[in-house]
Amino acid sequence: MTKVAIVTGGGTGIGKAIVKSLLADGFSVALFGRRLAVLDDAAHELDPSGQQTLSVPVDIGDRDAVEAAFQTVITHWGQLDLLVNNAGMGAPPIPLEDLTKEQWHNVVSANLDGAFFCTQFAFKQFKAQSPQGGRIINNGSISATTPRPNSSPYTATKHAISGLTKASSLDGRAFNIAVGQIDIGNAQTDMTKAMTTGILQPNGQTMVEPTMDVEHVAKAVSYMANLPLDANVLTMTVMATTMPFVGRG
């Protein structure tokens, strides 16, 4: 039986690379995102036949919309085997005291509320279906452990993802639900273009940071996704080898 996956933020960047890898593994994949045209473009590029993909426009920060989106997937394919909580956004890189309430809440809604709501409805489906169970992979980011300057909203939500991963992994044990997290550092996407020209460091200097091909991230997620449910990668860090993360400076 073909496995079914949902990838949030599936139309661009890391999410699109993950979709591509899962399709190659034989998954059918629902692409979640805000913009239908972007989702459709990605789906058509990666799956010209349209047999393995489904574009589902949704604001994952809206719980009712997430419920409807999950129902669309279940109605279409009848099951769910994998949720990849990948979608996320950051606030402007300005001093934290200058951030507006709206900027803070936008990041919390996309990064934390969305991951939690998707996890809720994945759990509901995993518990209800037969055979029972499924897998969730959360995109934690390097910021789940270590912040960049002027990144309080993003860092706070990504630290929270680590807590969500651990708590939902524990709560899923009795129901054959495996939950893990991948922390990604400097994958080459549109979001990381600034790193190739110079990005602010904690010491106040600006420096170019090494990046890596996003395909390495997709392959890592694919490995996690294809494990049997009695095995789990709880946490994994995939990063550009020489990026300034380990050690001082």
Residues annotated as part of the active site: 154, 158
What gap in Å lies between CA 191 and CA 151, rounded to an integer? 14
Whether the Cβ atoms of residue 140 and residue 162 lie closer than 8 Å to each other: yes
Q: How is residue 160 written in tokens?
A: 């929270």
- The C-alpha torsion from 213 through 161 and 70 to 3, rounded to 10°, is 50
Pairing status of strand 177-185 against strand 206-207:
unpaired
What gap in Å lies between CA 185 and CA 56, rounded to an integer? 28
What gap in Å lies between CA 93 and CA 72, rounded to an integer? 36
Whether the Cβ atoms of residue 198 and residue 156 lie closer than 8 Å to each other: no
Which residues, at least 6 apart from 124, have a Cβ–Cβ distance to it below 8 Å? Answer: 70
- Max CA-CA distance within the chain? 55
Q: How is residue 101 written in tokens?
A: 């309430």
Pick from 128, 116, 126, 130: which is nearest to 163 by CA? 116
